[in-house]
Structure 1
């Protein structure tokens, strides 16, 4: 059981580490919000969505069984969300004026928007689905019973710890960046990553 747990930790960490839309969004929220607690809607939503995908993958309910039409609709919605998220992120600016900065954060990324956006980049992201269903789900086939549960638990723990840590790191960068220049540059990079992901999904649908 310990071996399965360690396997899950290493595998999940390797999958979640690379830069992607989900990681960019969580980090961005940590840096944008005045306090870490204000970024919790995004962190909790991403963690819960990953938990759902991991459970589906490990215990055999594959979302890859969706019909072609359903996939097309879901991915199309994902493209629209990513385009809008990129636009909102590109427009957001950082300022040395703390009151103005807080106002911008609240208006641009309300808790509801955080939940919707975080869910979209988690559940409508082909990379996230392939990582969980294709890699984690396949890797779990070698385990049964308690070992399978330990493997799934390890993968889930990595997601929760990683997203919380990512938001905390973003908050720290936000505190250090008094001029706002670093966050303005990061906003532009984040927007480009989101638009790039939308284009990639578009190519996926066109195949």
Structure 2
């Protein structure tokens, strides 16, 4: 029993860290904010808080409720695909313009409220976020003994804190590279490609779950 606290904490940390380190929409958005040094603290705090709340809901058993509402996943998927396509289109425009146009857009900045709304949409309209936090992490945590669940959640939350804070504030180390406009065009092009591919993937999964185009 003496190893229970450490194993529960490390289990939550390892599982969450393995899921969170990926080239996804949320990580690319935070990376871009970190490179621009714009509202980094607020976006980092939002990402950490959203992760912890979703994982806590999963550990509390909310994942079973989500599975019990048949139309919810489809609407989340459709909304997420639409937003990712819109955001990807904007990134593609920035990559295409490049030069003075993109630099002027970066210099103008984005208000804090609008930035947090974008962060919320990228986070909460992506069904994969619920799969990772509410279902995968939540199911793993809820399977533990009641006294081990807070420690598991503390480990999971620590992984989110370390990753998001490191990504957001560590992005400035790449500032010398992104002093060149061409580097921003590459980043925006990568963001556009990832966002549009994720949107297509979400629509494909929705099409498959609804049975559209399948032979009877």
Partner of 2:25: 21
2:92 pairs with 1:90: yes
2:13 pairs with 1:9: yes
Deviation, structure 1 residue 141 = 3.3
Q: Give the unaligned 5+ runs of structure 2.
A: 209-216
Partner of 2:199: 198
Partner of 2:186: 185
TM-score (norm: length of structure 1): 0.85
| SS of residue in 2 equivalent to 1:92 | helix
**Is residue 174–residue 183 contact of structure 1 (8 Å, CA) maintained in 2?**
no
Distance 1:106 1:181, change over 3 A: closer
Deviation, structure 1 residue 113 = 2.7
Supply the distance in 1 between the matched residues of 2:45 and 2:32 (Cα, whole angstroms): 15
Deviation, structure 1 residue 108 = 5.9
**Is residue 54–residue 136 contact of structure 1 (8 Å, CA) maintained in 2?**
yes
- Across the aligned residues of Structure 1 and Structure 2, the Cα RMSD in angstroms comes to 2.2
How many residue pairs match? The answer is: 200
**Is residue 26–residue 166 contact of structure 1 (8 Å, CA) maintained in 2?**
yes
**Is residue 60–residue 137 contact of structure 1 (8 Å, CA) maintained in 2?**
yes
TM-score (norm: length of structure 2): 0.82
Deviation, structure 1 residue 106 = 5.9
1:55-70 → structure 2 map (5 Å cutoff): 55-62=56-63, 64-65=66-67, 67-70=69-72
Partner of 1:124: 125
Partner of 2:152: 151
Over 4 Å off, 4+ runs: none
Distance 1:77 1:44, change over 3 A: same
Partner of 1:169: 170
